[in-house]
Chain A
Amino acid sequence: MLRTIIAGLKARTARLVLSSVAIALGVAFVTGTLVLGDGMSESLRDEFAKGARNVDASVTLDRSSSSSSSDSSDGPTGISPEMLAKIRQTPGVAGADPRDFQQVPLLASNGKAKPAMAVPLASNEKLREFDVVDGRYPTAADEIAVDKRTATTAKLTIGQPVVLLGKDDKRLTFTLVGTYQQGTNSVSLSGGDHIGLTPEAFQALQPDQLPYEVVATAAPGVTQQQLVDNIRNAVGAGFQVQTGEEVTRQTMAQVSSQAGEFTTVLLAFALIALVVAAMVIYNTFTILVAQRTRELALMRCVGASRGQVFRGVLAEALVMGLTASVIGLFGGIGVSALLQRVIFSFDGGEGVVRLPVSGTTVLAAFAVGTLVTVLAAVLPARKATRVAPVAALRSQPDSGEEVARTGVLRVLTAVLFGVIGVGAIVFGMGIDDEETAMVVSGAGTMALLAMVLVLGPLLVGPVNRVLGALPRALFGVPAKLASANAGRNPKRTAATTAALMIGVTIVALVTVVANSAKETANAEIDQRMPADYTVSSVVYDRPLPKELAAQLAAVPEVAKVAPTTVVYGERAYFTGIPRDAIGDLFRPTVTSGSLADLGDGTVAVNAEYAKRQNVSVGSTVEVAPQEGTPQRLKVVAVVEGQRLSDGIMTLETSLRFPQAVEGYDSILVKLKDGVANGRAAVEKVTDPSPLAVLDSAAETKEQLNQQLNQVLAFIWALIGLAVVIALFGIANTLTLSVLERTRESALLRALGLTRGQLRLMLVVESVLMAMMGAALGLLLGVGFGWVITQALSTDTMAVDLVVPFGQIGVMLAGAVAAAVLAAALPARRAARTSVVAGMAEA
């Protein structure tokens, strides 16, 4: 038996290699994902290990006891310098340093500020979190060190001055003394700049901000527990003192769950790729067994038992699965290395490519590659055992037997899926919470997808007739033959195209939803920004100087300016805007009440906020800012369509809150009609201000669209793999079909079909199959996209369905091109076979 199996594998090498590629790609994706996830958490852990090294005790505010007894406004917000001094003097403490961070504007060479993350660098050498790359750590208050990448992007060299914007935009000049390596963490991945100062200089930036943590290292011979006990005694109540080990444990748990989330997202895509690969494998084995009916029957004739035939087919799958798993495993490691390089290149800096291959990964690779292959082969193998020995005696290998017996069971299953799907969609749309609604409706759409998959063989006929019409009209006989071939075995065609259909459905769904969201956001920006330009601050938390508004108003090209302020309450924020700008530069839709009543001490709230807080026109809301006294404001209107904030008030009202007094959040600028070069005129004013940046609605949209496009590109790339596997499936089926039809091709050639026409016939067949998958997938994807946008729509915000015809066109063109490519090899082979050789084929 073994010898027969090996002989069989040898004889069908080409076909098996093709199928193996599909499996290997699936395995590569799964292992690549796992290795990447492991690598990321390893690097996060290493990063944390740097922060935790030599930390024997950590002191933080005890939130649980302080928040209950006193209001947040009068309790301590951090660890005071006195407390730090106390800790430093505690017996057993060899050194202690604060841990903190804050955003500080860093002045780039063009005079414009950009936000940088500043941290205090430990004075105690043992407690330093970063490794110096060049130069040294700052020791004096006027010295600074920057992250290596920041030095590169901001073009800073050691010895040069570095300017930060302190309070009230005071320029603070430091001397750059060194660069350090930050490694991979959330800050470095976000691509922001990173700078380090001495603790004293850091404290001077924001004297009233106190560090959230103080870490201490123990003197020789002092255990972590002893140190913690000593510190606890010294600092008294209101602080949480933990050993370094405890902190490490807690943070590790957080780190792995962070890395885990990313891996989960990738694994979801890997799962799709896997399902598609499994379908391709299943289909391949079904065809292989069908084609070998005679051979298997002959084996039965010469005395092979059913079990032997079954085991023979399974053994073949096993060999194939194992080989593909090994290839896929190594491929996956390569994919992961590649992805990390891509991430690093976005990042700008170089990082260490980590490729940890855990036991789980290896197990997953083999489980996926081997198990899926063997499982996919079980059904065809069972079919093989049912081959009657007499089949060997039939002259024509009859793979037509697998032609759809579209049983009642199939229809019933489809109906079941349909009912579940429609039910879930209708139910989901009724749910208020957007996220839950999307998940429930999304699950419903997947049930509908399953329904279409089950119905597949029944759909092939009609869909083929419709899609075949155009090529038949264009190419005549070869296309007619191709269409007949595509429809001759509905089960096979359905299984082949289903893989592509799944991929295209998901791509189309994501694309439609993303574009709908984009359009909705764009429409909102248009509504929100009737002004020509918005001047805002580059650094969050750093308001614009008030003189800027007056300067802008004085520009001859400017018709009107409207400064806005922002007021943060508890879990809500409000916009302050001049009375005369409301309804002009700022025009929300009023659902109840009237904006005319918006005067001193009143507020117009967003419909969403009104719903959340259960307030309406006439009620009073209390706005409690972080600093200053709470204010009670009367609601005079409910507005919607603008999601700028939870509500609007007049500029004067907003000045009751200390934050709003500091400066403006933004300044809306409207130009006079028909002025040319308005932008230049405005820039003349904003350019000297380091914080001010000019935005127009168009630019904001552009930015937003770019971000969305990036996400979309990422998803296209991920699903792309599933699509590639699906196309391999088409190439696979086509190759097997061509082999099966060698005699037919020869007959056609004898009757006068030219080589070119034969090739054309196969290309058209391939395109027809791809189109069946792509067209159905697009139809489903757009439909599902509509469902999701409906689910996402709320009373206050309707997400309009936008069908991106351009992108859909690209997808269809891509499918056609790929199908032509998939047909290339089989077509070449078919056309090369001579008529006589083809006729001689059994």
Chain B
Amino acid sequence: MSALVSDVGTRTAVAAANLVKVYGKGDTAVRALDGVSVAFTAGRFTAIMGPSGSGKSTLMHCLAGLDNVDGGNVHVGGTEITSLADKELTKLRRDRVGFVFQAFNLLPTLTAEANILLGLELAGRKPDREWFDTIVDVLGLRDRLKHKPTELSGGQQQRVACARALVARPDVVFADEPTGNLDSRSGAEVLDFLRMSVRKLGQTVIMVTHDPVAASYADRVVLLADGHLAGEIDNPTADSVLSALKHLGA
């Protein structure tokens, strides 16, 4: 394992500089991101936190190349992505980024296994069977592989989404409120897995959440308020996050 985590704290997986994102025009324009500069180190689990409407999801979308920006730039694994065309962005997402969304993560027409392998198939890559088995076993999905999403519980669905995000060994996994729709026990399972994937498998995970307990699973918390960076907490606990949020006035 030591080889996998050797570059912790040395390599930057994702970085944003002076990021600006404006919704709407004129009087109704909203500066959802107003000059955000932040870097995410490879092999670490970072949580983006802030009150509702502070720009967390917007930041994540911009970092992942899902949305275009109005200013600044973003690097993913050394590639500047704000100038890329749609085709190249798509390829980037295929090969180097994994996603876990709050809901609707899975295609209802495909089995759990097909959903997990969908990204690889789109990229035309052969799945690494050993790696696939490892992930499936860790997530306890072995006996659910042939099931359709409607036959799975919410927690199981999110674990399938996690498996899909990790099976392609992306440079970075983005998760937007991955536990938002789950009860606390299922939520804890998913968060445990995300932390484990970072600690033991060397994955880089960036997670958006408004839940201090969820944030406490991370190595580091980045605080956002009104589209600005509002502080950081290393090795957070639920309490330290909660008090930091109170400090922001949320």
Measured CB to CB, the residues of A under 8 A from B are 395-396, 400, 476-477, 481, 484-485, 487-488, 743-744, 747-755, 757, 834-836, 839
Closest 4 CB pairs of A and B: A752-B94, A484-B109, A752-B122, A836-B67
Say yes or no: B90 contacts A754, CB within 8 Å: yes
Say yes or no: A753 contacts B104, CB within 8 Å: no
Q: How far is the CA of A487 from the CA of B99 in the complex (A)?
A: 27
Q: How far is the CB of A740 from chain B (nearest CB, A)?
A: 11
Q: How far is the CA of A743 from the CA of B104 in the complex (A)?
A: 7
> In the complex, which residues 51-100 of chain B have their Cβ closer than 8 Å to any Cβ of chain A?
61, 64, 66-67, 86-87, 90-91, 93-95, 99
Contacts of B94 in A (CB 8 A): 751-752
Say yes or no: B107 contacts A477, CB within 8 Å: no
Contacts of B152 in A (CB 8 A): none
Say yes or no: B99 contacts A751, CB within 8 Å: yes
Q: How far is the CB of A260 from chain B (nearest CB, A)?
A: 52
* Interface CB pairs A-B, < 8 A, 7: A395-B103, A485-B109, A751-B93, A751-B164, A752-B95, A752-B123, A836-B67
Q: How far is the CB of B168 from chain A (nearest CB, A)?
A: 9
Contacts of B122 in A (CB 8 A): 477, 751-753, 757
**Closest residue on chain A to residue B104 by CB atoms:** A743
Contacts of B238 in A (CB 8 A): none
Contacts of A753 in B (CB 8 A): 90, 122
Say yes or no: B109 contacts A835, CB within 8 Å: no
Contacts of A748 in B (CB 8 A): 107
Contact of A396 among B61, B104, B121 (CB under 8 A): B104
Say yes or no: B104 contacts A836, CB within 8 Å: no
Say yes or no: A744 contacts B86, CB within 8 Å: no
Interface residues on B, range: 20 to 34
Contacts of B87 in A (CB 8 A): 754
Q: How far is the CB of A744 from chain B (nearest CB, A)?
A: 6
Q: How far is the CA of A477 from the CA of B109 in the complex (A)?
A: 13
Contacts of B181 in A (CB 8 A): 395
Contact of B99 among A485, A488, A750 (CB under 8 A): A750
Contact of A400 among B91, B99, B150 (CB under 8 A): B150
Given the interface pairs A743-B104, A744-B104, the reply to whether A750 lies near B93 with Cβ below 8 Å is yes
Other A-B pairs beyond A396-B103, A481-B107, A835-B61, 14, CB < 8 Å: A395-B181, A477-B118, A481-B109, A488-B108, A744-B104, A747-B104, A747-B107, A750-B99, A751-B93, A751-B94, A751-B122, A752-B91, A752-B119, A757-B122
Contacts of A757 in B (CB 8 A): 122
Given the interface pairs A750-B99, A752-B93, A752-B123, the reply to whether A400 lies near B108 with Cβ below 8 Å is yes
Contacts of B119 in A (CB 8 A): 751-752
Q: How far is the CA of A485 from the CA of B109 in the complex (A)?
A: 7
Q: How far is the CA of A743 from the CA of B86 in the complex (A)?
A: 18
B105 within 8 A of partner (CB) = yes
Say yes or no: B93 contacts A747, CB within 8 Å: no
Contacts of B107 in A (CB 8 A): 481, 484, 744, 747-748
Given the interface pairs A488-B109, A751-B119, the reply to whether A834 lies near B67 with Cβ below 8 Å is yes
B101 within 8 A of partner (CB) = yes
Dominant secondary structure of chain A at its interface with chain B: helix
Q: How far is the CB of B127 from chain A (nearest CB, A)?
A: 13
**Closest residue on chain B to residue A747 by CB atoms:** B104
**Most chain B CB inside 10 Å of its own CB: which residue of A484, A487, A747:** A747
Q: How far is the CB of B157 from chain A (nearest CB, A)?
A: 11
Contact of A836 among B61, B86, B90, B95 (CB under 8 A): B61
Q: How far is the CA of A836 from the CA of B61 in the complex (A)?
A: 7
Q: How far is the CA of A111 from the CA of B123 in the complex (A)?
A: 77
B110 within 8 A of partner (CB) = yes
Q: How far is the CB of A418 from chain B (nearest CB, A)?
A: 31
Say yes or no: B90 contacts A752, CB within 8 Å: yes
**Closest residue on chain A to residue B154 by CB atoms:** A395
Contacts of A750 in B (CB 8 A): 64, 66, 93, 99, 101
Q: How far is the CA of A476 from the CA of B118 in the complex (A)?
A: 12
Q: How far is the CA of A629 from the CA of B35 in the complex (A)?
A: 116
Contact of B121 among A477, A484, A485, A744 (CB under 8 A): A477
Q: How far is the CB of B180 from chain A (nearest CB, A)?
A: 11
Say yes or no: A747 contacts B105, CB within 8 Å: yes
Say yes or no: B90 contacts A747, CB within 8 Å: no
Say yes or no: B66 contacts A835, CB within 8 Å: yes
Q: How far is the CA of A668 from the CA of B238 in the complex (A)?
A: 108
Contacts of A747 in B (CB 8 A): 101, 104-105, 107
Instruction: Give a binary string over B138-169; 1 marks a CB under 8 Å from any A CB, 0 the rest.
Output: 00000000000010000000000000100000
Q: How far is the CB of B69 from chain A (nearest CB, A)?
A: 12
Contacts of A487 in B (CB 8 A): 109
Q: How far is the CA of A485 from the CA of B91 in the complex (A)?
A: 24
Say yes or no: B110 contacts A484, CB within 8 Å: yes
Contacts of B150 in A (CB 8 A): 400
Say yes or no: A755 contacts B109, CB within 8 Å: no
Say yes or no: B67 contacts A835, CB within 8 Å: yes
Contacts of A485 in B (CB 8 A): 109
Contacts of A834 in B (CB 8 A): 67
Q: How far is the CA of A755 from the CA of B93 in the complex (A)?
A: 13
Contacts of A749 in B (CB 8 A): 90
Q: How far is the CA of A396 from the CA of B122 in the complex (A)?
A: 25
Q: How far is the CA of A264 from the CA of B55 in the complex (A)?
A: 68
Q: How far is the CB of B234 from chain A (nearest CB, A)?
A: 30
Q: How far is the CA of A752 from the CA of B105 in the complex (A)?
A: 14
**Most chain A CB inside 10 Å of its own CB: which residue of B94, B122, B124:** B122
**Most chain A CB inside 10 Å of its own CB: which residue of B64, B94, B107, B150:** B107
Contacts of A395 in B (CB 8 A): 103, 181
Q: How far is the CB of A720 from chain B (nearest CB, A)?
A: 34
Say yes or no: B86 contacts A755, CB within 8 Å: yes
Q: How far is the CA of A839 from the CA of B100 in the complex (A)?
A: 12
Contacts of A743 in B (CB 8 A): 104
Contacts of A396 in B (CB 8 A): 103-104
Q: How far is the CB of B31 from chain A (nearest CB, A)?
A: 17
Q: How far is the CA of A485 from the CA of B67 in the complex (A)?
A: 27
Q: How far is the CA of A414 from the CA of B91 in the complex (A)?
A: 49
Q: How far is the CB of A785 from chain B (nearest CB, A)?
A: 37
**Closest residue on chain B to residue A487 by CB atoms:** B109
Contacts of A751 in B (CB 8 A): 93-94, 99, 118-119, 122, 164
